[in-house]
Amino acid sequence: MSVFRVFARNYSWSVLVILGLIISTGHAPFSLWPVSLIGLSLFFWLQQNHKLSLKSLFKSGWWLGFGYFLGTLNWLVEPFLVDIATHGWMAPFAVLLMSGSLALFWGTGMSLGGLLGGRLGCALGLGLCEMVRGYLFTGFPWGLLGYIWVDTPIAQLASYFGAYGLTVVTFGFCALLAQSFYVRRKVMDLAALSLLFLVVWLFNNTSQHTHQAPENATVIRLVQPNAPQEKKRDPQFAMIYFQKMLEFSSQAPQPDLIIWPETSLPTAFNFAADLLLQIKEAAQGVPVLVGALRTKEDKIFNSLILVEPQEDAKVVYDKFHLVPFGEYLPFENFLTKIGLGFSSDLFGTGFQNGSGPQVVNLPNVGKIFPLICYEAVFPQDVSAMPERADVIVQVTNDAWFGKFSGPYQHLAQAQMRSIEQGLPMVRVANTGISGLIDPTGRVVKKLELNKSGYIDVALPDGELSTLYSHYGNWTILLLFIVLSMGNFILRIRH
């Protein structure tokens, strides 16, 4: 018996956690997608050496998922470190609890896969449960496996099947790779898989083309003040960053539109008449789109405000997909009834949802589809665009996500939204990473993390509507049908 087979029959939960950590290295900032594929293929290879019950499959998937989310979501400690004295003690519990909770989806996926049978069945189960993760309890699809491809030609498959579909494809590919080691004609199967991978890579690489902005393109100024989260609301520093944004906005030559990041006003919009006047003066006739909080009765809205030269400032968009434990506390009424109402003081609460996705027509710019921060994480929210826009606009404050992995992963998800919709995106962050993303997901121009300044970007045209922008997640049904048929054929062969 080979060393590999001895290992395969005696691995423990710790091996699965390590494999999960290895798979997570495909995400930013490491972006080691080949390592991810090797780790996931090894996991599928190990599964066949054990005749596992559904319960054991669940445990297997849970431990793997626990390691994967532990590695991918390490940035979750950062929001708790903004005020270490008050919230710092919760940081390790938050990461462990979140990783353990999300791993339930991987455990359930493996059990479901056990019912379908075979490695490809497990891949289908995992892919399906990753989709469910994006919807259940308002969803949390951060760190989908498909994002490991974001800077490669393979990512263009998202224009057909979205990030969820790309995740299913990735699970399926690794399952087939592992399966090929157990067939008599393994060399032929490996060669066929390698050829398929090469063809998809080359086809998508050649179909990508540079998107040059037309001569009369709209020019947008992206303003990044780089305010650390612990200083952003400090009265001693807030006006310093506000003055920076005024200075950046006043620079020549004048663009067609200026955009400030999420919650960039140092006070609520309702009480900021003097600040809005200063913005008008600095912009010298150019409209400014400003991220700001506003209050209405006892509720808070996270909004985008349009400040025009000759008009009163007006709300053009309210964030509708709020951040749990940041902008609202899930099950707050229930927690209050059982005496845990104090938790609303520890976590964010009191924010009110906007009315939903909307397209806003701005003078001299055209139709924009606004997103505020976390909303760009959800493929289904962007697919809910009520009409085709000219550009997606995301304002965000990534200072919450630290400096290591969170801001880069957030950017990767924004890139994937552009690929899915075939639309350019301008992304304006308080700190890291502001920039222009073209319709194929490439970052054309950017301001790096922890830099203050501004850049002017000329908008390229969007591509024709993609398959995914037309049909959304219905396209993934086709993937499930194809992979299910493949699984059926494989099971007959063996």
Q: Comparing C-alpha atoms, which of 406, 389, 413, 405 is closest to residue 462?
A: 389
Euclidean distance between CA atoms 187 and 258, whole angstroms: 57
**Environment class of residue 126 by beta-carbon count within 10 Å: exposed (0-12), middle (13-18) or buried (19+)?**
buried
Longest dimension (CA), the chain: 81
Contact 305, 290 (CB under 8 A): yes
Q: Of 78, 130, 262, 463, which is the active-site residue?
A: 262
Active site residue 174: no
AA letter at 306:
L
Q: What angle do CA 333, 336, 340 make, to 5 degrees?
A: 135
3-state secondary structure of 170: helix
Q: Which two tokens stand for residue 251?
A: 């620079």
| Cα dist from 23 to 10, 79, 377, 410, whole Å | 21, 24, 20, 18
Q: Is the dihedral of CA 375, 379, 385, 389 positive or negative?
A: positive
Kind of pairing between the strands at 219-224 and 257-259: parallel
Q: Is residue 319 flagged as an active site residue?
A: yes
Contact between 285 and 102 under an 8 Å Cβ cutoff? The reply is no
Q: Is 368 helix (H, G, I), strand (E, B) or coil?
A: strand
Tell me the C-alpha to C-alpha distance, in Å, between residue 312 and each of 258, 307, 309, 448. 17, 7, 8, 33
Please say if 129 is a catalytic residue.
no
Per annotation, catalytic residue among 130, 280, 373, 446: 373
475 Ramachandran zone, left/alpha/beta (phi>0; psi -120 to 50): alpha
| Annotated active-site residue in 319, 327, 420, 463 | 319
Q: Give the separation between CA 28 and CA 41, rounded to whole angstroms.
A: 20
Which residues, at least 6 apart from 403, have a Cβ–Cβ distance to it below 8 Å? 432, 449, 450
What positions carry a catalytic annotation?
262, 319, 373
